[in-house]
């Protein structure tokens, strides 16, 4: 499904977004990265926010079972996480649960 993340093994971080993910949502860098290696993750386009660059959404679990909603873009062979937060209950949770 989606792109082969094994080829994209490095992550780059914008300091403003990195800090925001932690301060507003208590999501660490490591947790964000773990989602990309969840075998049951689901990937979706993000056309609403893809005006300057193509953005995607990945929904998946961390090693501790936390469900995250992560917005990212790919730059060359690097994954740049834009935002990360807990998956909201209801419709968003269905994006992962029904597919897993």
Q: 27 lies in a domain?
A: yes
Which pLDDT belongs to residue 1? 41
Q: 72 lies in a domain?
A: yes
Q: 1 lies in a domain?
A: no
Q: What is the mean pLDDT of the chain?
A: 83
Average pLDDT over residues 18-26: 87
Average pLDDT over residues 39-59: 87
| Entry pTM | 0.81
Which pLDDT belongs to residue 98? 61
Q: 58 lies in a domain?
A: yes
Judged by phi (left if over 0) then psi (alpha if -120 to 50, else beta), residue 2 lies in: left
Average pLDDT over residues 27-47: 91
Q: 32 lies in a domain?
A: yes
Average pLDDT over residues 21-36: 91
Q: 56 lies in a domain?
A: yes
Q: 59 lies in a domain?
A: yes
Q: Is the pLDDT of residue 12 over 60?
A: yes
Instruction: Tell me the residue range of the domain where 74 lies.
Output: 8-97
CB 73 within 8 A of CB 92: no
Q: Which of 45, 47, 49, 48 is nearest to 58 (CA)?
A: 45
Q: Is the pLDDT of residue 2 over 60?
A: no
């Amino acid at each position: 499904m989606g792109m082969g993340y094994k080829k994209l093994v490095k992550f780059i971080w914008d300091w403003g977004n990195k800090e925001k993910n932690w301060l507003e949502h208590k999501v660490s860098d490591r947790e964000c990265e773990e989602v990309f290696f969840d075998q049951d993750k689901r990937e979706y386009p993000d056309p609403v926010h893809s005006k300057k660059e193509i953005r995607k959404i990945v929904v998946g679990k961390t090693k501790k079972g936390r469900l995250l909603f992560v917005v990212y873009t790919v730059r060359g062979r690097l994954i740049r996480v834009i935002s990360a937060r807990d998956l909201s209950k209801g419709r968003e949770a269905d994006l992962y649960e029904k597919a897993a």
